[in-house]
Amino acid sequence: MSKRLTIPKTYKLAIGGAFPRSESGRTYEVLSKKGDFLANAAKASRKDARDAVVAARAAVKGWSGATAYNRGQVLYRVAEILEGRRAQFVDEIAAQEGVSAAAAGAQVDAAIDLWVWYAGWCDKYAQVAGNANPVAGPYFNISVPEPTGVVAVVAPQDTALLGLVSVIAPALVTGNSVVVIASERHPLSAISLAEVLATSDVPGGVVNVLTGSPAEIAPWLASHADVNALDLAGAGDLNWIDLEIDAAQTLKRVLSPVPGTDAVGASLERITAFVETKTVWHTKSMI
Protein backbone atom coordinates (compact mmCIF):
# COMPACT_ATOMS: atom_id res chain seq x y z
CA MET A 1 0.00 0.00 0.00
CA SER A 2 1.46 3.36 -1.01
CA LYS A 3 1.94 6.01 1.62
CA ARG A 4 -0.52 8.92 1.49
CA LEU A 5 0.81 12.40 0.88
CA THR A 6 0.18 14.94 3.59
CA ILE A 7 -2.19 17.77 2.77
CA PRO A 8 -0.57 21.12 3.64
CA LYS A 9 -3.11 23.39 5.29
CA THR A 10 -3.51 27.12 4.77
CA TYR A 11 -4.76 28.69 7.98
CA LYS A 12 -6.98 31.66 7.17
CA LEU A 13 -8.08 34.69 9.20
CA ALA A 14 -11.13 34.68 11.47
CA ILE A 15 -13.33 37.74 10.91
CA GLY A 16 -17.01 38.11 11.70
CA GLY A 17 -17.59 34.41 12.23
CA ALA A 18 -16.10 33.54 8.81
CA PHE A 19 -12.63 32.39 7.76
CA PRO A 20 -11.50 34.57 4.84
CA ARG A 21 -8.13 34.71 3.18
CA SER A 22 -6.29 37.99 3.52
CA GLU A 23 -7.68 40.51 1.04
CA SER A 24 -4.07 41.06 -0.05
CA GLY A 25 -3.68 37.39 -0.96
CA ARG A 26 -0.50 37.21 1.11
CA THR A 27 0.56 34.19 3.13
CA TYR A 28 3.69 33.19 5.02
CA GLU A 29 5.21 29.86 5.92
CA VAL A 30 4.95 28.64 9.49
CA LEU A 31 7.97 26.55 10.40
CA SER A 32 8.70 24.15 13.21
CA LYS A 33 11.43 24.76 15.75
CA LYS A 34 13.71 22.67 13.50
CA GLY A 35 12.81 24.69 10.41
CA ASP A 36 10.44 22.16 8.87
CA PHE A 37 7.36 23.42 7.01
CA LEU A 38 4.13 23.11 9.02
CA ALA A 39 1.52 25.16 7.18
CA ASN A 40 0.78 28.42 5.45
CA ALA A 41 -0.84 31.25 7.43
CA ALA A 42 -2.62 34.31 6.09
CA LYS A 43 -0.71 37.57 6.40
CA ALA A 44 -3.29 40.15 7.43
CA SER A 45 -3.32 43.63 5.92
CA ARG A 46 -4.63 47.03 6.98
CA LYS A 47 -7.89 46.27 5.17
CA ASP A 48 -8.26 43.00 7.08
CA ALA A 49 -7.75 44.89 10.35
CA ARG A 50 -10.43 47.40 9.39
CA ASP A 51 -12.84 44.59 8.45
CA ALA A 52 -12.19 42.92 11.80
CA VAL A 53 -13.00 46.15 13.67
CA VAL A 54 -16.25 46.53 11.71
CA ALA A 55 -17.21 42.97 12.65
CA ALA A 56 -16.27 43.50 16.30
CA ARG A 57 -18.28 46.72 16.50
CA ALA A 58 -21.36 45.03 15.07
CA ALA A 59 -21.06 42.25 17.66
CA VAL A 60 -20.72 44.44 20.76
CA LYS A 61 -24.42 45.17 21.28
CA GLY A 62 -25.57 41.56 21.26
CA TRP A 63 -22.69 40.20 23.34
CA SER A 64 -22.73 42.96 25.96
CA GLY A 65 -26.53 42.74 26.08
CA ALA A 66 -26.46 39.06 26.99
CA THR A 67 -26.90 38.26 30.65
CA ALA A 68 -23.75 37.68 32.66
CA TYR A 69 -24.98 34.17 33.41
CA ASN A 70 -25.38 33.45 29.69
CA ARG A 71 -21.89 34.75 28.89
CA GLY A 72 -20.53 32.42 31.57
CA GLN A 73 -22.35 29.47 29.98
CA VAL A 74 -20.92 30.36 26.56
CA LEU A 75 -17.35 30.61 27.84
CA TYR A 76 -17.73 27.30 29.65
CA ARG A 77 -18.94 25.76 26.38
CA VAL A 78 -15.71 26.96 24.72
CA ALA A 79 -13.74 25.06 27.38
CA GLU A 80 -15.81 21.92 26.71
CA ILE A 81 -15.11 22.02 22.96
CA LEU A 82 -11.45 22.82 23.54
CA GLU A 83 -11.26 19.74 25.77
CA GLY A 84 -12.76 17.64 22.98
CA ARG A 85 -10.12 18.83 20.51
CA ARG A 86 -7.26 18.53 22.98
CA ALA A 87 -5.23 16.12 20.84
CA GLN A 88 -5.19 18.51 17.88
CA PHE A 89 -3.93 21.39 20.01
CA VAL A 90 -1.27 19.21 21.63
CA ASP A 91 0.05 18.23 18.19
CA GLU A 92 0.03 21.83 16.93
CA ILE A 93 1.79 23.24 19.98
CA ALA A 94 4.41 20.50 20.05
CA ALA A 95 5.18 21.11 16.37
CA GLN A 96 5.24 24.92 16.58
CA GLU A 97 7.12 25.36 19.84
CA GLY A 98 9.34 22.29 19.59
CA VAL A 99 8.29 21.02 23.02
CA SER A 100 7.39 17.53 24.17
CA ALA A 101 3.85 16.19 23.95
CA ALA A 102 3.68 16.33 27.75
CA ALA A 103 4.64 20.03 27.82
CA ALA A 104 2.19 20.80 25.01
CA GLY A 105 -0.53 18.89 26.87
CA ALA A 106 0.17 20.86 30.03
CA GLN A 107 -0.27 24.11 28.08
CA VAL A 108 -3.59 22.97 26.62
CA ASP A 109 -4.84 21.85 30.03
CA ALA A 110 -3.84 25.20 31.54
CA ALA A 111 -5.67 27.03 28.75
CA ILE A 112 -8.84 24.98 29.33
CA ASP A 113 -8.66 25.62 33.07
CA LEU A 114 -8.23 29.33 32.39
CA TRP A 115 -11.39 29.41 30.24
CA VAL A 116 -13.32 27.74 33.05
CA TRP A 117 -11.91 30.21 35.62
CA TYR A 118 -12.93 33.21 33.55
CA ALA A 119 -16.34 31.68 32.77
CA GLY A 120 -17.01 31.58 36.50
CA TRP A 121 -16.32 35.30 36.86
CA CYS A 122 -18.91 36.44 34.31
CA ASP A 123 -21.72 36.78 36.85
CA LYS A 124 -19.47 37.67 39.79
CA TYR A 125 -17.00 40.38 38.74
CA ALA A 126 -19.63 43.12 39.03
CA GLN A 127 -19.90 42.43 42.76
CA VAL A 128 -16.17 43.14 43.05
CA ALA A 129 -15.79 45.96 40.52
CA GLY A 130 -19.07 47.71 41.40
CA ASN A 131 -20.43 48.86 44.69
CA ALA A 132 -22.95 50.96 46.58
CA ASN A 133 -21.24 54.20 47.57
CA PRO A 134 -21.79 55.93 50.92
CA VAL A 135 -23.29 59.40 50.47
CA ALA A 136 -24.44 62.09 52.87
CA GLY A 137 -28.04 62.59 51.88
CA PRO A 138 -31.31 60.85 51.04
CA TYR A 139 -29.85 59.11 47.98
CA PHE A 140 -28.70 55.76 46.71
CA ASN A 141 -25.43 55.96 44.82
CA ILE A 142 -24.42 52.82 42.90
CA SER A 143 -21.40 52.21 40.65
CA VAL A 144 -21.89 49.57 37.94
CA PRO A 145 -19.11 48.26 35.62
CA GLU A 146 -19.89 48.14 31.89
CA PRO A 147 -17.85 46.89 28.92
CA THR A 148 -15.56 49.31 27.13
CA GLY A 149 -16.52 48.07 23.65
CA VAL A 150 -14.03 46.93 21.00
CA VAL A 151 -10.68 45.84 22.44
CA ALA A 152 -7.68 45.40 20.12
CA VAL A 153 -5.07 42.99 21.46
CA VAL A 154 -1.49 42.10 20.61
CA ALA A 155 -1.32 38.55 21.94
CA PRO A 156 1.76 37.21 23.75
CA GLN A 157 4.22 36.01 21.14
CA ASP A 158 6.05 33.21 22.99
CA THR A 159 3.22 30.70 23.45
CA ALA A 160 0.84 29.26 20.89
CA LEU A 161 -2.31 28.98 23.02
CA LEU A 162 -2.04 29.83 26.71
CA GLY A 163 -0.96 33.44 26.22
CA LEU A 164 -3.71 33.93 23.64
CA VAL A 165 -6.40 32.63 26.00
CA SER A 166 -5.03 34.79 28.84
CA VAL A 167 -5.80 37.98 26.88
CA ILE A 168 -8.98 37.01 25.01
CA ALA A 169 -11.01 35.42 27.81
CA PRO A 170 -10.93 38.28 30.35
CA ALA A 171 -12.05 40.80 27.74
CA LEU A 172 -15.02 38.59 26.87
CA VAL A 173 -16.12 38.20 30.49
CA THR A 174 -17.48 41.75 30.68
CA GLY A 175 -19.09 41.87 27.22
CA ASN A 176 -16.33 43.37 25.09
CA SER A 177 -15.61 42.17 21.56
CA VAL A 178 -12.03 41.51 20.52
CA VAL A 179 -9.69 41.92 17.55
CA VAL A 180 -6.52 39.99 18.37
CA ILE A 181 -3.20 39.79 16.54
CA ALA A 182 -1.94 36.27 17.16
CA SER A 183 1.64 35.18 17.74
CA GLU A 184 3.50 35.63 14.47
CA ARG A 185 5.73 32.58 15.10
CA HIS A 186 2.99 30.33 16.50
CA PRO A 187 -0.27 31.30 14.74
CA LEU A 188 -1.78 27.89 14.05
CA SER A 189 -3.40 27.36 17.45
CA ALA A 190 -4.95 30.83 17.26
CA ILE A 191 -6.94 29.94 14.16
CA SER A 192 -7.78 26.52 15.58
CA LEU A 193 -9.10 28.32 18.65
CA ALA A 194 -11.20 30.54 16.35
CA GLU A 195 -12.66 27.34 14.89
CA VAL A 196 -13.56 26.25 18.43
CA LEU A 197 -15.25 29.60 19.05
CA ALA A 198 -17.16 29.34 15.76
CA THR A 199 -18.56 25.94 16.75
CA SER A 200 -19.48 27.05 20.26
CA ASP A 201 -22.12 29.66 21.12
CA VAL A 202 -19.84 32.70 20.78
CA PRO A 203 -21.59 35.03 18.29
CA GLY A 204 -19.75 35.81 15.07
CA GLY A 205 -17.62 38.93 15.33
CA VAL A 206 -17.11 38.75 19.09
CA VAL A 207 -13.59 37.36 18.57
CA ASN A 208 -11.69 38.21 15.38
CA VAL A 209 -8.22 36.71 14.85
CA LEU A 210 -5.57 38.24 12.61
CA THR A 211 -2.31 36.47 11.78
CA GLY A 212 0.81 38.01 10.33
CA SER A 213 3.10 40.80 11.49
CA PRO A 214 2.11 42.63 14.71
CA ALA A 215 4.53 45.42 13.75
CA GLU A 216 2.54 45.96 10.55
CA ILE A 217 -1.01 45.56 11.90
CA ALA A 218 -0.86 47.04 15.42
CA PRO A 219 -0.41 50.71 14.39
CA TRP A 220 -3.62 50.59 12.35
CA LEU A 221 -5.57 49.20 15.30
CA ALA A 222 -3.97 51.64 17.75
CA SER A 223 -5.04 54.62 15.63
CA HIS A 224 -8.46 53.27 14.60
CA ALA A 225 -11.19 55.60 15.86
CA ASP A 226 -13.69 52.75 16.38
CA VAL A 227 -11.39 50.77 18.69
CA ASN A 228 -12.09 51.64 22.33
CA ALA A 229 -9.17 49.97 24.09
CA LEU A 230 -5.75 48.51 23.39
CA ASP A 231 -4.08 45.58 25.16
CA LEU A 232 -0.35 45.51 24.41
CA ALA A 233 0.41 42.31 26.34
CA GLY A 234 2.51 40.88 23.52
CA ALA A 235 3.94 44.15 22.19
CA GLY A 236 7.08 44.20 24.33
CA ASP A 237 9.34 43.79 21.28
CA LEU A 238 7.49 46.46 19.28
CA ASN A 239 7.75 50.23 19.52
CA TRP A 240 4.85 50.18 21.96
CA ILE A 241 5.35 53.75 23.15
CA ASP A 242 4.38 54.92 19.66
CA LEU A 243 1.35 52.64 19.82
CA GLU A 244 0.31 54.29 23.08
CA ILE A 245 0.75 57.73 21.48
CA ASP A 246 -1.40 56.64 18.52
CA ALA A 247 -4.04 55.32 20.90
CA ALA A 248 -4.08 58.59 22.85
CA GLN A 249 -5.28 60.44 19.75
CA THR A 250 -8.66 58.74 20.12
CA LEU A 251 -8.65 58.50 23.94
CA LYS A 252 -8.32 54.73 24.11
CA ARG A 253 -7.90 52.77 27.30
CA VAL A 254 -4.42 51.19 27.08
CA LEU A 255 -2.88 48.29 28.98
CA SER A 256 0.89 48.50 28.56
CA PRO A 257 3.17 45.45 28.30
CA VAL A 258 4.83 44.43 31.55
CA PRO A 259 8.53 43.53 31.19
CA GLY A 260 9.22 39.91 32.09
CA THR A 261 5.64 38.70 31.77
CA ASP A 262 3.50 37.43 28.90
CA ALA A 263 0.09 37.94 30.55
CA VAL A 264 -0.37 34.23 31.16
CA GLY A 265 -2.44 33.34 34.19
CA ALA A 266 -5.73 34.06 35.92
CA SER A 267 -6.15 37.74 36.73
CA LEU A 268 -9.11 39.71 38.03
CA GLU A 269 -7.20 42.85 37.07
CA ARG A 270 -7.34 41.82 33.40
CA ILE A 271 -11.12 41.56 33.67
CA THR A 272 -11.52 45.04 35.14
CA ALA A 273 -8.89 46.66 32.90
CA PHE A 274 -11.42 47.16 30.10
CA VAL A 275 -14.59 48.22 31.85
CA GLU A 276 -16.13 51.64 32.30
CA THR A 277 -17.92 52.54 35.50
CA LYS A 278 -21.43 54.01 35.35
CA THR A 279 -22.55 55.71 38.55
CA VAL A 280 -26.27 56.06 39.20
CA TRP A 281 -27.93 58.35 41.74
CA HIS A 282 -31.47 57.64 42.94
CA THR A 283 -33.49 59.34 45.63
CA LYS A 284 -34.75 57.34 48.57
CA SER A 285 -38.52 57.31 48.66
CA MET A 286 -39.93 59.48 51.43
CA ILE A 287 -42.83 57.85 53.31
Beta strand 37-42 pairing with 27-31: antiparallel
Per-residue pLDDT, 287: 55
Positions in the chain short of pLDDT 50: none
Per-residue pLDDT, 177: 98
Q: Rounded to an integer, what distance in angstroms lies between the CA atom of residue 237 and that of residue 65?
A: 36
The b/e string for 38-77 (b: 16+ C-beta within 10 A; e otherwise) is: bbebbbbbeebbbbbbbbbbbbbeebbebebeebbebbbb
Per domain, the residue ranges of the chain are 11-283
Q: Which of 64, 25, 19, 50 minimizes the C-alpha distance to 274?
A: 64
Q: Rounded to an integer, what distance in angstroms lies between the CA atom of residue 43 and that of residue 41?
A: 6
Kindly report, residue by residue over 38-75, the tens digit of the pLDDT: 999 999 999 999 999 999 999 999 999 999 999 999 99
Cβ partners under 8 Å of residue 156, min gap 6 = 163, 164, 166, 167, 183, 233, 234, 262, 263, 264
Per-residue pLDDT, 1: 60
Q: Rounded to an integer, what distance in angstroms lies between the CA atom of residue 47 and that of residue 195?
A: 22
Contact present, 13 and 48 (Cβ < 8 Å):
yes
Contact present, 142 and 132 (Cβ < 8 Å):
yes
Per-residue pLDDT, 165: 97
Contact present, 17 and 205 (Cβ < 8 Å):
yes
173-to-87, 211, 234 alpha-carbon distances in Å = 26, 23, 20
Percent of the chain with pLDDT over 70: 98
Contact present, 132 and 278 (Cβ < 8 Å):
no
In terms of CATH, what superfamily is 11-283?
Aldehyde Dehydrogenase; Chain A, domain 1 (3.40.605.10)
Q: Is 102 left (phi over 0), alpha (psi -120 to 50) or beta?
A: alpha
Give the number of other CB atoms < 10 A from CB of residue 29: 10
Per-residue pLDDT, 7: 78
Per-residue pLDDT, 131: 76
Report residue 120: phi and psi, to 5°.
-65, -20
Per-residue pLDDT, 3: 80
